Copies of this chain bind each other. A is one copy, B any other.
Amino acid sequence: MTKSKELSKASVARLQLLLELLEQCEREQRQQITSSEIGEALGISAVNVRQDLFRLGSAGRPRVGYDVSHLIDLLRRLFDLNRPKRACIVGFGNLGRALAGSRIWDKAGYQLVAAFDKDSSVVGMELDSIRVRNISEIFGVIRAESIEMAMITVPASAAQEVANMVTAAGVKAIWNFAPVKLQVPTNVVVENQSLAWGLVALSHRTKQVGD
Q: A81-B203, A205-B191 known; A175 and B196 CB under 8 Å?
A: no
- Do the beta carbons of A189 and B175 come within 8 Å of each other? no
Q: How far is the CB of A46 from chain B (nearest CB, A)?
A: 13
| Chain A, range 1-53, C-beta contacts under 8 Å to B | 1, 3, 5-14, 16-17, 19-20, 42-44
A101 contacts the other chain (CB 8 A):
yes
Q: Are B95 and A16 in contact (CB under 8 A)?
A: no
A210–B85 Cα gap in the complex (Å)?
13
Does A104 belong to the interface (CB within 8 Å)? yes
Q: Is the CB of A203 within 8 A of B9?
A: no
User: Residue of B at shortest CB range from A1?
Assistant: B209
Beta-carbon contact of B5 and A208 below 8 Å: yes
Write the chain B residue with the least CB distance to A48: B10
A196 and B14 form a contact (CB under 8 A): no
With contacts A7-B43, A10-B43, A85-B203 taken as known, whether A16 is within 8 angstroms of B79 at the C-beta atoms is no
Q: How far is the CA of A180 from the CA of B145 in the complex (A)?
A: 34
A149 at the binding interface (Cβ < 8 Å): yes
Q: Is A144 an interface residue (CB 8 A)?
A: no
Verify B80–A204 contact, CB threshold 8 A: yes
A63 contacts chain B at the CB level, 8 A cutoff: no
Separation of A81 and B148 alpha carbons in the complex (Å) = 37
Measured in the bound complex, the distance between the Cα atoms of B198 and A149 in whole Å is 13
